[in-house]
Structure 1
Amino acid sequence: MNHLVVFAHPNPKSFCKGIVETIEAASKEKGDNVTVRNLYEIGFDPILKPADFEALQSGNISEDIKVEQEHIKWADVITFVYPVWWVSLPAILKGYVDRVFSYGFAYESVDGVPRGLLNGKKALLFCTTGSPNEYYAQNGMHNSMKQTTDAGIFNFTGMEVISHTFFGAVPSVPDETRKEYLKEVEKIIKDNI
């Protein structure tokens, strides 16, 4: 199985990086091929420019987008790993979605109805938050984030979301809790892909 991990955290020592390392190890242990795209490390440009629209219409997609789309084509499973900032994706990851999951590649319109083009691919999401999970759950933010990302991005483009996991209060929980979080990541990877 080909597993693409899209990682969006600027701190190379972040807990998100630990999640990525756990995903890599668990996937490799299963015999999967793993590619990690660290959006900060590769200097991904998240800004959707007027020239991008013109390029899409003429079929001359920019080289940086072609590279990312080739990774997506290669993948059977795509995992996003990111911190939740302002109840959303970090700007660099939102820009990745805007530029890479483009019309004609990730979806199309048939008789005015959108249709996903990434059918058969599976998606997982691992998100970290600064506040406890209970805070996000009680005010409906977890459900809102799942609706906008799972349904609004992945299902919209034809992918099946296998798991969307939130790890709460990451900066303030004890090390033992973070270790348990990583065990959960490993279990999700081994049990679901």
Structure 2
Amino acid sequence: MNLLIIYTHPNHQSLSYSFLEKVLKGAEENSNINRVQVLDLYEEQFDPILRFNEKKRRRDMHRDPNLEAYRHQLLWADKIMFIYPIWWGRPPAMLLGFIDQMFASNFAYKDIGKILPEGLLKGKSVVCISSMKGPKHYPLLLLNNAHKALMKKALFSFVGIKRVKFFEFGNMEAPNKGHSKKLELIYQYVKRLAV
């Protein structure tokens, strides 16, 4: 299995980075995982701003040479793991900008004249590991689970990815709130991960 980790947090001293370290440790000890690539969007200085004009059209985004390396990574991966914080009930703008540009028509999906398009990323699976300052159940109670609906239904299902798992951790800025147990949970999950 080829594992692509898309890490989106500007601070390498964060709990998100600690989750990344546990994922890498678990992947190293998992014989089902052949290769791992990490795409750190902040370190990469990915430009999340979507730009269109007369010369750069949205319908041609699947051929943008500036995004070719990222397209290869997404096609290479059997499993895509996203690690990011939840800010204001949604992933960081950096990750949303990556999604806007990478999950483009004629790369991630194809219009076929029906109600829903054909997803072109079938067969892949996704794991989302997110953390937030607020309580774990905040997105469910006050936001009607908008984050999960955005990621699973509006994005992954649309592009043909049916197997999606979420790990959402709340109260992450509170001291001594079981962070080590949460980190161990992720490590053990990745260590035992099958295709």
CA shift, 1:34, in A, is 0.9
Q: Deviations over 1:25-82 (max 9, x none)?
A: 111211321111000001000111115852753874132x111110001100001110
Matched, 1:185 2:186: yes
Q: 1:66 aligns with which of 68, 71, 91?
A: 68
Residue 54 of structure 1 aligns with an amino acid whose one-letter code is: R
Q: Is the 8 A contact 1:108 1:116 kept in 2?
A: yes
Identity %: 28
Q: Structure 2 regions of 5+ residues with no counterpart?
A: none
Contact 2:4–2:74 (Cα < 8 Å) also in 1 = yes
After the TM superposition, which of the residue ranges 54-63 and 82-91 deviates more from structure 2?
Answer: 54-63
* Amino acid of the structure 1 residue aligned with 2:140: A
Q: Say which structure, 1 or 2, has more relative contact order (CA 8 Å, 6+ apart).
A: 2
Would you say how many aligned residue pairs link Structure 1 and Structure 2? 190
Q: Which structure 2 residues correspond to residues 73-92 of structure 1 after superposition, within 5 A?
A: 73-92=75-94
Partner of 1:120: helix, strand, or coil?
coil
Partner of 1:19: 19
Amino acid in structure 2 at the alignment position of 1:108: K
**Which stretches in structure 1 are left out of the alignment for 5+ residues?**
none
Matched, 1:104 2:106: yes
Matched, 1:132 2:107: no
Q: Which has the higher helix share?
A: 1
**Whole-angstrom CA distance in 2 between matches of 1:20 and 1:167:** 14
Task: Provide the alpha-carbon RMSD of the alignment.
Answer: 1.9
AA partner of residue 60 (structure 2): Q
Q: Which amino acid aligns with 1:13?
A: Q
